[in-house]
């Protein structure tokens, strides 16, 4: 039976630069995490935001390890990284 999807948003916030998507995507590939969708935008306040919608059901790491791994990448890129299960967005932004 196919595993139930476990959908998570990874959000990278900061100043736009080269290699953001490549760095995060490479890390996710190594953790066996499937990227479903990617979107990025410059916000009205000038902030660059890249959001990845990923399925972690087959991930080689748990949520804590994933958060720590991405936090390290965020530090290297000098950007903030948030890892959040999709349910929080569903609760906050959909009735």
Partner 1 sequence: MPFEVEEIYETASMILRQHLDIRTTTLGLNLKDCIDSDFGVFRKNVYDKVCSHAERLIAESARLERKYGIPVVNKRIAVTPVNLIMETHCEPEKFLEMAQTLDAAARDAGVDFIGGFGALVQKGLTRADSMLIEVLPDVLSQTERVCSFLNVGSFVSGMNLDAVNRIGPMLKQTAAKSENAVGCAKFVVFVNAPEDNPFMAGAFHGVGEADAALNIGISGPGVVRSVVEQNRDCDLTRLSEVIKRTVFKITRAGELIGRELAGALGIGFGIVDISLASTTARGDSVAGVIEAFGIEKIGAHGSTLALALLMNAVKKGGAMASGNVGGLSGTFIPISEDSGMIDAVCAGALGLDKLEALTAVCSVGLDMFAVPGDTPEETLCAIIADELAIGVINNKTTAVRVIPVPGKKAGDLVQFGGLLGTAPVMHVNGFSSRQFLKRGGRLPASVTSMRN
Return residues touching partner 1 (CB under 8 A).
9, 11, 13, 37, 39-41, 43, 47, 49, 51, 53, 63-64, 67, 80, 82-93
Q: Give whichever of 27 and 86 is closer to partner 1, judged by the CB atom.
A: 86
The Cα angle at residue 72 between residues 53 and 83, in degrees rounded to 5: 30
Least gap, CB of 94 to partner 1 (angstroms): 8
Three-state helix/strand/coil letters over 14-50: ECCCCCHHHHHHHHHHHCCCEEEEEEEEECCCCCEEE
Least gap, CB of 26 to partner 1 (angstroms): 21
Q: Give whichever of 1 and 78 is closer to partner 1, judged by the CB atom.
A: 78
Least gap, CB of 1 to partner 1 (angstroms): 24
- Alpha-carbon span 95 to 81, nearest angstrom: 26
């Amino acid at each position: 039976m196919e595993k139930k999807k476990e959908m998570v948003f990874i959000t990278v916030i900061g100043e736009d630069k080269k290699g953001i998507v490549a760095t995060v995507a490479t890390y996710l590939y190594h953790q066996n995490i499937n990227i479903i969708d990617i979107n990025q935008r410059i916000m009205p306040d000038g902030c660059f935001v890249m959001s990845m919608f990923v399925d972690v059901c087959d991930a080689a790491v748990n949520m804590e390890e994933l958060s720590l791994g991405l936090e390290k990448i965020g530090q290297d890129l000098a950007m903030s990284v948030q890892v959040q299960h999709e349910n929080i967005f569903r609760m906050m932004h959909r009735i």
